Amino acid sequence: MTICRTIEELRTVARGWRQEGLTVGFVPTMGYLHEGHLSLVDLAARNASRVVLSIYVNPTQFGANEDLSRYPRDFPRDEGLCRRRGVQALFTPDSAAMYAPDHSTWVTEEALTGTLCGRSRPEHFRGVTTVVTKLLNIVQPEIAVFGRKDAQQALVIQRLVRDLDLPVRIIVGPIVRDPDGLALSSRNLYLSADERTRALSISQALREAEDRYARGERDALALRRWVQDRVQAAGGRIDYVDCVCRSTLQPLDRIQGPALLAVAAFFGRTRLIDNAYLG
């Protein structure tokens, strides 16, 4: 595994592979890796001959009052995990290389980023779309893999790739959960034992909503209320519980096609997200 700390190092490695006719799969992350990320590495490896994983805690996608400074970091651990999982290049640029002091160009998506996480994190997706565009231009992969836990992000990235004609295929990997149902997230580290137990209400409520949908419930408001009540009963502070069309992210009254039931809630200071596909 090659560790590339600069854009030029990574470009050189990737260029060498391209000249050999090898394809590149790319997994962008913010590090503090867990099995969710590593499942995306497996997906990349099944779809390309070389895997690049980036670790970059992108400052422009954090709001002023968010957890940029305390976002968990453990590079030696991440490096070992990547090695064992068969990553061929680990890309770890620093912010000086990623953003010039007079950086002034932004990529924005305007139709899908006003709802869900975009409502409570107004600058977030501009940071995501900008850094993902940059990373894709640096790595120039044939495929890039994103996780479905960030369902809105995955949809926004697919739109970005289509609208800007980025020469890459996006693959979205399934949510990976702990055995008790909690969706894996680097931010789970922040949870106390008690908060973690109470946070299980999110995945439990989503599973119950899926059951109700399977038994014929099509009233989006009823499903939202169900989830909201369950999470609040466990002491969660709701950011949103929304039931939206899976391709436009527009809110639904009745579920008639593919829908996304998405939750963001705080347990203590920790904001967790999770979601279920309905239909």
Per CB under 8 A, the list member of 1, 2, 3, 11 interacting with its own copies is 11
Per CB under 8 A, the list member of 110, 193, 215, 216 interacting with its own copies is 110
5 near its own copies, rule: CB under 8 A? no
Per CB under 8 A, the list member of 26, 27, 85, 109 interacting with its own copies is 109
Per CB under 8 A, the list member of 108, 192, 250, 256 interacting with its own copies is 108
274 near its own copies, rule: CB under 8 A? no
Report the greatest alpha carbon distance in the chain. Answer: 57
Q: Which is nearer to its own copies, 123 or 208 (CB)?
A: 123
3 near its own copies, rule: CB under 8 A? no
Is position 103 annotated as part of the catalytic site? no
Distance (Å) of CA 188 to CA 6, 38, 82, 110, 181:
30, 16, 20, 30, 13
Per CB under 8 A, the list member of 63, 95, 106, 192 interacting with its own copies is 106
Other residues' Cβ atoms within 10 Å of the Cβ of residue 277:
15
Pairing of strands 237-245, 259-267: antiparallel
Phi, psi of 87 (to 5 degrees): -70, 135
Side by side, which strands form the sheet with 259-267?
237-245, 259-267, 270-278
Task: Note whether 84 and 51 are within 8 A (CB).
Answer: no
- From the list 223, 220, 211, the residue with the least C-alpha distance to 255 is 220
Residue 128 C-beta: closest distance to its own copies, Å:
12
Residue 103 C-beta: closest distance to its own copies, Å:
5
Residue 247 C-beta: closest distance to its own copies, Å:
9
From CA 277, how far away is CA 40, in angstroms rounded? 19
CB half-sphere exposure, 131, CA atoms < 13 A: 25
200 near its own copies, rule: CB under 8 A? no
Region 134-193 residues binding its own copies, contact defined as CB under 8 A: 134, 137-138, 140, 159-160, 162-167
Stretch that binds its own copies, among 83-91, 127-135, 174-182, 225-233 (CB under 8 A): 127-135
Task: Note whether 149 and 274 are within 8 A (CB).
Answer: yes
Residue 279 C-beta: closest distance to its own copies, Å:
21
- Report the phi/psi class of residue 240: left, alpha or beta, with left for phi > 0 and alpha for psi in -120 to 50: beta
Which residues are known catalytic residues? 37
Residue ranges binding its own copies (CB under 8 A): 7, 11, 100, 102-112, 129-130, 133-134, 137-138, 140, 159-160, 162-167
